[in-house]
Structure 1
Amino acid sequence: MLRLPRSLIVCHRTKSTHSVSSDEYQYMQRTRIPMLHFQASLPRLPIPKLDKTCERYLAAQKPLLIDEAYRKTKDNTDRFLTTDGPKLQQLLKQKDSKNKHTSYISEPWFDMYLRDRVPLPINYNPLLMMNHDPRPAYNDQLLRTTNLVISSLRFMKSLRSQLLEPEVFHLNPAKSDTHAFRTVTSLAPSLISTYVAYAFKAFPLDMSQYQGLFGATRIPETGKDRIYRNVKSRHLLVIRNGHIYSVTVLDQAGNIEQPATLLARFKHVLDDNVPIAENPIGLLTTENRDTWAKIRYHLSEIGNEKALREIDSALFCLCLDDGTINPEHPIPTIKDFLFGNGTNRWFDKSFSLIVSKDGTAGINFEHSWGDGVAVLRYFQEIYKETIAAPFVHPDTLQKDTSRSVDVIKRIEFNLDDRIKDAIIAAQNHHNSIIDSLDMNYLKYDGINKNICKKQRISPDSIMQLGFQLAFYKQHSKFVPTYESCSTAAFRHGRTETMRPCTVATKEFCEAIERKSNPLSSNELRAMMDKCSSLHGQLTKDAAMGQGFDRHLFGLRHMAETNDIPMPCLFQDPAYAAINHNILSTSTLSSPALLAGGFGPVVQDGYGIGYNIQDGFLGSVVTSYKSHRNGREFVDCLRSAYEDIAKVLNNSTIPSK
C-alpha cells in the first residue's frame, strides 16, 4: 500500500506576473531542507529474523490450505528453519554487509524486472489517471498539455538542482509538517537528521529512484534489458497519430523555454495534419522483449541509430491522443491510457504523459526503474500546480521566435520489409492480448473514507475485506492475495507484499455468508474489527521491512547464485501457489487521482487498482476473459460492500 504525504507547497498565482526567465519560473521548489539531507542517515532495509519470516509465511498459508497440505507445508518450513535456512540467511547477511550503500533486495529486484521477457503493457506498466481541471477552459488539449509540460520541467529542474523538498511521511502533519520541523532538521547533520525527524514522528523517504524519472528509457536486449539515462537532453518525445516528433523544450543553457514558445510548439504538432502513420513504430514496444530486442538491433543496422538515440534520450514521452472520456463510463479511456492500440505510445520510456482531446490526462510508466513513490510525487505536484497556478491561460498568445527547424522535427525511420512485417505482427499480437482483457469499474458511495473514520475502522482494511468477500461469493474459496506496500522509509527500499487474506478475514467471510444460525451485526462487527486490527499490524510490519515475501525471495536468490540445491520450502507446491497471486491489489491515495489501473499478474487473476475517497470507494478491475468473469466479480464486490455497510450501520461502534 502506498500513501504519500501532503502535496508540497507551490507558489500561487492567477497570472504569470513575474519574468518567465527568472528562477521563479525555472524551479518549482526551493527547499529549506537540502533534498538529499536525510539520505545518508536513512536506515538500511532490515533482513528479518529467519524464525519470524517462517512464522509469518505459515500464517499467510493457513487460510489458503486444507489441513493436510498445511501440515506438509509446516513440515517443510520447520525443516528449512533448521537446515538450509540458516546457511542461506548467513550468505544473505554477508552479501548485505558488503553492500551497505543499498538494500539486500535492490539488485535482485531490478534483475527480476529486467530479465522478464513479457511485453510491458498490461504486464508491467501501470496507469495513473489525473482529475480534470475544475475550470473547463483549462482542459483544452493544447492549454493543458503546455501547463503540464511546464510544471513537469519545473519539477525536473528542481530535482536535478536538488531543490525539491525531501519526501517525508508525516504521521501527524499538524505537528510535524511545520516551520519548526524544517528549521530543526535542516540544522541537524545529515548523518543523524533522519533520527531527528523521527522525534517529530516524521519519516523521511528514500529518494534514490527519482533520478530514473527523466531522460531514461528501458532498452530491450536479449535475455536482459538495460536502463539508459541521459542528463543532457533538451527535448521531449511527442507522439501524435503514430508519428514521432522531437520537440525542444529547454534552451541552450538548459532553461525552460517561454510559456508562449512552448504553447506555439505544441500547437504546431497538434496542427500537423499528416495522415495517421502507416507504420507506427511505437507498436514494436508492445512486443515480447526478446522479439523487440532483435527487431531494434535490425533497426540500428539499417540506419536508424540516430532516430533511436533521439527517442531514448528524450526527457519523457508526451502522447497527444484524440479520445474523450465519459465520466459515467470511464473504462474505454482507462483502457486507452493503460495499453491503447499501441500506435501512439513508446512504452519503454520511463514515463509517458498522455493528454486527450478533452484534456483528460494521465501517466503510464515503465516499472523496472522504480515504484510508485517518485511517480506519484511528480504526478500530484504537477496536478496541484496546474490547477492552482498555471503558466498559460486561454488568452495567452503563442510566440516562437526560434528560426531553427531543429526545435520541432518529425523523427523519420528507414523501414525495410522485415520491420514493416514486424510492426504488423506486433499489432496483431497486441490486439489479441487486449481483446482478451476485460476491464470493469466499481464506484460505490455506501462506504467512504469519512464513514470509516466515524466508524473507527481502517478504510484500507474495509476495501481489502471486500475483495476477499467478493471472491468468496464468486468462487466459495480463498486465494493468494497481494497488496503492495512501499518500504521507501529505508535506503533503496522497494516494496514488500502485505498478505490481506488472513484467518480472520476467512472467518468473517464464512460467517457473513452463512445462512443457518446467522451472527448478529455486533458479532460480525467484532470480527470485522479483528480483521482491521490484524490488517493494520501486517501493514505496519510490511512497511518496516518485516514481511516474509522479499526475505524469502532474497534467500532463494542466494541458493540460485551460490549453486545450492533448492531447499524443500521452495519446492513445496504451496510456495508456488502463494506466489501465484490471483488477487493483485494496489492503492494510491492522492487528491490528484481520478483512477489507477494495471493488468492481472497471472492469467487467471484479477488486477485491482483501488482508492477510497471522502465520498466513495472505487476499483478498476482487470482480468482475462477466458479465465475469469470480471463483470461477475465486480457485481460480487458491490454486494460485498453492501453487506459490509449493513454491518457498519447496524452495529455498535466499539469504544476506544
Structure 2
Amino acid sequence: VAHRLFQVDCYLWSSIMTLCLLHTQNTLTSFHLKPTLPVPPLQQTCEYYLAALTPIVDPEELNHTRKLLEEFQKPGGVGERLQKGLEQRTKKMENWLSDWWLQTAYLDYRMPVVVHSSPGVVLPRMDIFSLRYAAKLIAGVLDFKSMIDNETLPVEYLGGKPLCMNQYYQVLSSCRIPGTKRDTVVNYTLVKRPPTHITVVHNFQFFVLDVYNSDGTPLTIDQIYIQLEKIWNSSLQTNKEPIGILTSNHRNSWGKAYNNLIKDKTNKESVRAIQKSIFTVCLDAPMPRVSDDMYRTCAGVQMLHGGGSRWNSGNRWFDKTLQFIIGEDGTCGLIYEHAPAEGPPIVSLIDHVVEYMKKSEMVRTPMVPLRMPQKLRFHITPDIKKDIEEAKQNMNIMAHDLDMKVSVFSHFGKDFPKSQKMSPDAFIQMALQLAYYRIYKRCCPTYESASLRMFRLGRTDTIRSTSIDSDKFVKAMDDPNTEKVALLDKAVKAHRAYTDMAIRGQAIDRHLLGLKLQAIEDLAALPEIFMDTSYAVVLHFNLSTSQVPAKTNCVMCFGPVVPDGYGVCYNPMDTHINFAVSAFNSCQDTNAARLAQALEDALLDIKTLLEQTPKAKL
C-alpha cells in the first residue's frame, strides 16, 4: 500500500492531488501527500548532541567529544560527505530513514520479541468471562478493518497537520518471519486473495476461523459466537505441545527451529495459516488469583509474556502482529509485534473496538449453517520437541526476570498541568526525571518516543527528556534555597521545545544513526564520534518511556531496553494517570515498585510546589 501511488508521472500525480482535495481531506488517501522526512543541518545536530551529553557525562569526556565533533564538522570532512550522502538519499527514497530503521531497530535485533520488543496493552477487566465478549471484540476489529479497506478512516492530525496513515495498513494480515540472522515482515493484504480468516488459540491449539461469508460480508456477532463455542468445546484437552512458545525464543534459535519445523508439509501449511490470518485471538486459561491491588500488574505480565510455560506463554504466536488476549479470569488486552507499527495506531484501533462493543447488538439474523473451524495440525518430531523444551526454559527465565508494576495515579490527571498552562507530557516527564534522580542521585539518558508521522512513512525519533534544564530542576527540587518553580517552568518549556523539534524531523538521534549507517553503506571507516564512549553512554537509555494516550481507560506496557534500565509507559486521562513500570529482577539496582512510588511522590511534590507558589511568581 505504501507504494501504490508514488510511481506515477507528474501529470498523474497532479491529478491525484486535485482529486484528493476535491474528494475529502478526511480519508486515508491523503497520506500520500505527506512531505518527505528532512535531514537536519549537521551543525545543529552536533550542537544539540553536546547539549544532550552535558548532564550525563563528566566534563573531561564531554571535552573529548567536543574535539571529535569539531573534527567531524570540518569543511570538506567526513561529516560533510556523509551529510551529502543522506541528502542524496532523500531524493531517491520516499523516506530516507524508514527502511534503515525497520532493519536496525527490529529485523536485525536478535533478542526475543517477548519483553524486549513487543508491547502489551491492559484493557479494563471483564465482569465475567464470556465468549460473546470475544465475539463482539472480533466484530469490532472487522468493523475497523472495513474502514481501512475502504479508506474511510478519518485522518489523524497533530498540531493542525495531517499525519501519515500508512501504519494502519500494516497491523492486520501481517506477521514477522524468523531468520537465522535477520527477520522479515510479510503483509498479506496486497496479495491477489487477501485472507478472510483469523486464528484462535485455546489450550495451545490453533484454529482457522473464517470471519467472512461467501458474499464478502463479515459474520455477525452471533455467528462468530457459535464458531468460538465450537472451538472452545473441541479444545478442552490441555495435554498438547505448546507449539506457539517457539516464537518466544531468541531470534536466531527460533529461526533455526522454524526452518526445521516447516520441513514437514502439514506443519508448513499450519504455520502459513497463522501467519496469513488477519489477527489472532488468544483464549487464555485463568492466571493465579491475586488481590485487586495486584490485578493490573499481573494482567500486564500476562499481556507481555503470558506468565511462563506453566500458564499461557504457549497460547501465543508472538510473531503475529496483532494478538487479542481474553482470559477466563476476566483479563483482557493484547500484545503486538512492534516491527510494522507504533502504539498510537494500535490504541486507535482499541478505542474503536471498545466503543463498538458498547453498542446494543443488532436484530439477530437467521442462522446459516457454518462449517466447523479448521484445527491446525502439527507433527512434533523429537527435534521439534527439544526446541519446545528449550523455548520453555528460556521463557521461564524471562518471566521470572521481569519486574512489573502497573498502577493508577488517582490524585490528578492531565487536568492539573493544563490548569498550570503546562504540557501534561512534559510535566510527567519532569516528575520522572525527579523520581529517578532522587533514587540514584544522578541523571540518566532518557528516551521518549516522538511521532514522525507528519512525514511520509514516518515512524519515530527520540525526545531526550534529560536536558541541561531538567538537570538543574531536579537538583534544586529538594534544596530549600532555590527558585524551584522558575527552574521547573524552564525545564518544561525546554522539553516542549525539543518535542516540537523532534516531530518536525529535527531531533538528533535518527540523524546520527543515519550518518553512521551512511558511513557503513559507503564502506568507509566509521567516524570516531561513533566509537567514542559518549556515544555509547548517550544510547544507554536507563529510562525508556512513552506516552500512549487513549480514550479507553487502558495502559500500554513494555520491557526495559537495557539490563539496568526501566520501561515506563503512561496514559494520562483527565483525572488520573495510568502507569506501567518495568525493570529486570536480575539487576539489583532497579526496582519497578520503587520507581513507581518515587514517581507518585514526585508528581504530588511538584503539584504542592505549584499550589504553594503565588501565581504572580510564575
TM > 0.5 between the two? yes
Paired position in structure 2 for 1:652:
614
Q: Does 1:366 align with 2:337?
A: yes
**For the structure 1 residues 163 and 641, does the alpha-carbon distance in structure 2 shift closer, same or farther, using more than 3 Å as the test?**
closer
Question: Is the CA contact 2:401–2:585 (under 8 Å) kept in the aligned structure 1?
Answer: yes
What CA distance in whole angstroms lies between the structure 1 residues aligned with 2:243 and 2:366? 31
What CA distance in whole angstroms lies between the structure 2 residues aligned with 1:155 and 1:480? 38
Question: Is the CA contact 1:130–1:383 (under 8 Å) kept in the aligned structure 2?
Answer: no
Give the Å deviation of 1:650: 0.8
Paired position in structure 2 for 1:209:
167
What CA distance in whole angstroms lies between the structure 2 residues aligned with 1:241 and 1:326? 25
Of residues 597-606 and 357-366 in structure 1, the stretch that sits farther from structure 2 once superposed is 357-366
What CA distance in whole angstroms lies between the structure 2 residues aligned with 1:293 and 1:219? 8
Paired position in structure 2 for 1:91:
85
Paired position in structure 2 for 1:354:
325
Q: Give the one of 345, 363, 368 matched to 1:401.
A: 368
Amino acid of the residue matched to residue 536 of structure 2? A
Question: Is the CA contact 1:141–1:358 (under 8 Å) kept in the aligned structure 2?
Answer: no
What CA distance in whole angstroms lies between the structure 1 residues aligned with 2:96 and 2:356? 37
Q: Give the one of 544, 551, 555 matched to 2:515.
A: 555
**For the structure 1 residues 154 and 444, does the alpha-carbon distance in structure 2 shift closer, same or farther, using more than 3 Å as the test?**
closer
Match runs of 1:223-302 below 5 Å = 223-231=181-189, 232-272=194-234, 274-302=236-264
Q: Give the one of 113, 117, 128 matched to 2:121.
A: 128
Gaps of 5+ in 1: 1-30, 172-201
Q: Does 1:460 align with 2:453?
A: no
What CA distance in whole angstroms lies between the structure 2 residues aligned with 1:125 and 1:489? 24
Question: Is the CA contact 2:348–2:550 (under 8 Å) kept in the aligned structure 1?
Answer: no
Question: Is the CA contact 2:135–2:222 (under 8 Å) kept in the aligned structure 1?
Answer: no
Paired position in structure 1 for 2:300:
334
Give the Å deviation of 1:633: 2.2
Question: Is the CA contact 2:554–2:571 (under 8 Å) kept in the aligned structure 1?
Answer: no
Paired position in structure 1 for 2:137:
148
**For the structure 1 residues 398 and 277, does the alpha-carbon distance in structure 2 shift closer, same or farther, using more than 3 Å as the test?**
farther
Paired position in structure 2 for 1:305:
268
What CA distance in whole angstroms lies between the structure 2 residues aligned with 1:433 and 1:654? 52
Paired position in structure 1 for 2:10:
none
Q: Does 1:380 align with 2:337?
A: no
Q: Deviations over 1:205-230 (max 9, x none)?
A: 10122221111110101211111222
Aligned to 1:92, the other structure's residue is in SS state helix
Q: Does 1:316 align with 2:286?
A: no
Residue-pair matches, total:
578
**For the structure 1 residues 277 and 244, does the alpha-carbon distance in structure 2 shift closer, same or farther, using more than 3 Å as the test?**
farther
Aligned to 1:315, the other structure's residue is in SS state coil
Give the Å deviation of 1:140: 4.2
**For the structure 1 residues 434 and 360, does the alpha-carbon distance in structure 2 shift closer, same or farther, using more than 3 Å as the test?**
closer
Question: Is the CA contact 2:36–2:90 (under 8 Å) kept in the aligned structure 1?
Answer: no
Gaps of 5+ in 2: 1-22
Of residues 366-375 and 441-450 in structure 1, the stretch that sits farther from structure 2 once superposed is 441-450
**For the structure 1 residues 279 and 153, does the alpha-carbon distance in structure 2 shift closer, same or farther, using more than 3 Å as the test?**
same
**For the structure 1 residues 635 and 257, does the alpha-carbon distance in structure 2 shift closer, same or farther, using more than 3 Å as the test?**
closer
Amino acid of the residue matched to residue 103 of structure 2? D
Q: Give the one of 301, 310, 316 matched to 1:345.
A: 316
**For the structure 1 residues 494 and 463, does the alpha-carbon distance in structure 2 shift closer, same or farther, using more than 3 Å as the test?**
same
Q: Deviations over 1:292-335 (max 9, x none)?
A: 11111111112311111111111101111233786532111110
Give the Å deviation of 1:33: 4.5
Paired position in structure 2 for 1:469:
434
Q: Does 1:592 align with 2:552?
A: yes
What CA distance in whole angstroms lies between the structure 2 residues aligned with 1:654 and 1:323? 56
Amino acid of the residue matched to residue 541 of structure 1? M
What CA distance in whole angstroms lies between the structure 2 residues aligned with 1:622 and 1:605? 8
- Which protein has greater RCO, CA pairs closer than 8 Å, 6+ apart? 1
Give the Å deviation of 1:651: 1.1
What CA distance in whole angstroms lies between the structure 2 residues aligned with 1:228 and 1:254? 23
Q: Deviations over 1:380-418 (max 9, x none)?
A: 11112212x2537xxx8797533533xx12111011011
Question: Is the CA contact 1:447–1:641 (under 8 Å) kept in the aligned structure 2?
Answer: no
Question: Is the CA contact 2:163–2:455 (under 8 Å) kept in the aligned structure 1?
Answer: yes
What CA distance in whole angstroms lies between the structure 2 residues aligned with 1:645 and 1:602? 31
Aligned to 2:73, the other structure's residue is in SS state helix
Q: Deviations over 1:565-601 (max 9, x none)?
A: 1111111111011111110001111121421100000
Paired position in structure 2 for 1:481:
446
What CA distance in whole angstroms lies between the structure 2 residues aligned with 1:42 and 1:648? 41
Paired position in structure 1 for 2:61:
69
What CA distance in whole angstroms lies between the structure 2 residues aligned with 1:603 and 1:528? 30
Paired position in structure 2 for 1:614:
574
What CA distance in whole angstroms lies between the structure 1 residues aligned with 2:27 and 2:617? 43
Q: Deviations over 1:333-352 (max 9, x none)?
A: 11001111211111101110
Aligned to 2:107, the other structure's residue is in SS state helix
What CA distance in whole angstroms lies between the structure 2 residues aligned with 1:600 and 1:58? 25
What CA distance in whole angstroms lies between the structure 1 residues aligned with 2:242 and 2:45? 49
What CA distance in whole angstroms lies between the structure 2 residues aligned with 1:546 and 1:326? 46
**For the structure 1 residues 654 and 305, does the alpha-carbon distance in structure 2 shift closer, same or farther, using more than 3 Å as the test?**
farther
Match runs of 1:104-119 below 5 Å = 104-112=96-104, 113-119=106-112
Give the Å deviation of 1:132: 5.0
Amino acid of the residue matched to residue 87 of structure 1? R
Aligned to 2:285, the other structure's residue is in SS state coil
Give the Å deviation of 1:465: 1.1
Question: Is the CA contact 2:542–2:566 (under 8 Å) kept in the aligned structure 1?
Answer: yes
Question: Is the CA contact 1:54–1:77 (under 8 Å) kept in the aligned structure 2?
Answer: yes
**Percent identical residues:** 29
Question: Is the CA contact 1:216–1:314 (under 8 Å) kept in the aligned structure 2?
Answer: yes
Aligned to 1:37, the other structure's residue is in SS state helix
Paired position in structure 1 for 2:15:
none
Give the Å deviation of 1:32: 5.5
Match runs of 1:501-540 below 5 Å = 501-514=466-479, 518-519=480-481, 523-540=483-500
Aligned to 2:562, the other structure's residue is in SS state coil
Paired position in structure 2 for 1:158:
147
Give the alignment's TM-score, normalised by structure 2.
0.90
Amino acid of the residue matched to residue 538 of structure 2? I
Question: Is the CA contact 2:197–2:211 (under 8 Å) kept in the aligned structure 1?
Answer: yes
Question: Is the CA contact 1:219–1:228 (under 8 Å) kept in the aligned structure 2?
Answer: yes
Paired position in structure 2 for 1:24:
none
What CA distance in whole angstroms lies between the structure 2 residues aligned with 1:613 and 1:499? 23
Give the Å deviation of 1:478: 0.9
Paired position in structure 1 for 2:71:
79
What CA distance in whole angstroms lies between the structure 2 residues aligned with 1:58 and 1:323? 51
What CA distance in whole angstroms lies between the structure 1 residues aligned with 2:222 and 2:577? 40
Of residues 443-452 and 466-475 in structure 1, the stretch that sits farther from structure 2 once superposed is 443-452
Give the Å deviation of 1:370: 1.8
Match runs of 1:30-49 below 5 Å = 33=25, 35-49=27-41
What CA distance in whole angstroms lies between the structure 1 residues aligned with 2:477 and 2:151? 53
Q: Deviations over 1:74-111 (max 9, x none)?
A: 11122211221110000111121111xx2111010111
What CA distance in whole angstroms lies between the structure 2 residues aligned with 1:610 and 1:211? 25
What CA distance in whole angstroms lies between the structure 2 residues aligned with 1:390 and 1:148? 13
Question: Is the CA contact 2:195–2:276 (under 8 Å) kept in the aligned structure 1?
Answer: yes
Give the Å deviation of 1:652: 2.1
Of residues 124-133 and 232-241 in structure 1, the stretch that sits farther from structure 2 once superposed is 124-133
Amino acid of the residue matched to residue 487 of structure 2? M
Give the Å deviation of 1:246: 1.0
What CA distance in whole angstroms lies between the structure 2 residues aligned with 1:512 and 1:447? 20
Paired position in structure 1 for 2:43:
51
What CA distance in whole angstroms lies between the structure 2 residues aligned with 1:273 and 1:308? 18
Question: Is the CA contact 2:68–2:529 (under 8 Å) kept in the aligned structure 1?
Answer: yes
Give the Å deviation of 1:34: 6.0
What CA distance in whole angstroms lies between the structure 2 residues aligned with 1:315 and 1:426? 26
Q: Deviations over 1:156-192 (max 9, x none)?
A: 12211222222333x4xxxxxxxxxxxxxxxxxxxxx
